[in-house]
Amino acid sequence: MRPPEISGTESTDLQWIKHAIESWLEVSSSDKLIILRPTNPLRKRETIEGAMDLVSKIDDWHSLRAVRPVKEHPSKVWRRQGAYITPYSPGLNQVTGTDSHSSPMQTLEPLYVQDASLEICKVSTILETNSISGTKVIPFEMPGNEGFDINLPSDLDYLKHLVDSGKASLPSIVQK
């Protein structure tokens, strides 16, 4: 359903969503789009409903994005400069008074990384800002393993492990 020029490895979500809005989706600017990528098989219906409920309770928003706390904090990242490395984000930790890169994780600012499992956006946000997110983004922490994303062949092995060990379950598919 996408033309080849927006179907490559460097194509953006914004490109295919705008194409869908302009070509075949029947939406108005007041509608909401829920983006559910097939690479997130552990997401549950109840979680999607919870996200929809959250946006219905907030008046001024552009989008909702699934997130999870970072495991590897940017304050612990280094960059190579010749024979040495320097902190990517130098600075003092306000809690410990030491270099942030040498501080315990629990004293660093809580940060989040997006996952691809769930996004909700207003059609008006896309049309008015040329962005899926806009500037007023509601964070939605995905519970448990529901934000798990399949990007690599090894991710399929890990998914099988999660399901086989009972740590996750695939949603049932009900045909109507």
Measured distance CA(63)–CA(90) in Å, rounded: 31
Fold of 1-69+114-176: Spore Coat Polysaccharide Biosynthesis Protein SpsA; Chain A (3.90.550)
172 confidence band (pLDDT: 50, 70, 90) = confident
Average pLDDT over residues 64-86: 95
Average pLDDT over residues 6-32: 93
Average pLDDT over residues 79-87: 96
Residue 89 has pLDDT above 90, yes or no: no
175 confidence band (pLDDT: 50, 70, 90) = confident
What are the DSSP E strand ranges found in the chain? Answer: 32-35, 63-69, 78-81, 84-87, 112-122, 137-141
**pLDDT value at residue 2:** 83
Residue 119 has pLDDT above 90, yes or no: yes
Residue 1 has pLDDT above 80, yes or no: no
Residue 60 has pLDDT above 90, yes or no: yes
For the chain, what percent of residues have pLDDT higher than 90?
A: 89
171 confidence band (pLDDT: 50, 70, 90) = confident
Q: pTM value?
A: 0.86
All CATH 3.90.550.10 domain ranges in the chain, comma separated: 1-69+114-176
For the chain, what percent of residues have pLDDT higher than 70?
A: 100
Summary mean pLDDT of the chain: 93
**pLDDT value at residue 51:** 98
b (16+ CB within 10 A) / e for 153-175: eeeeeebeebeeeeebeeeeeee
Tell me the two tokens of residue 92.
């003092």
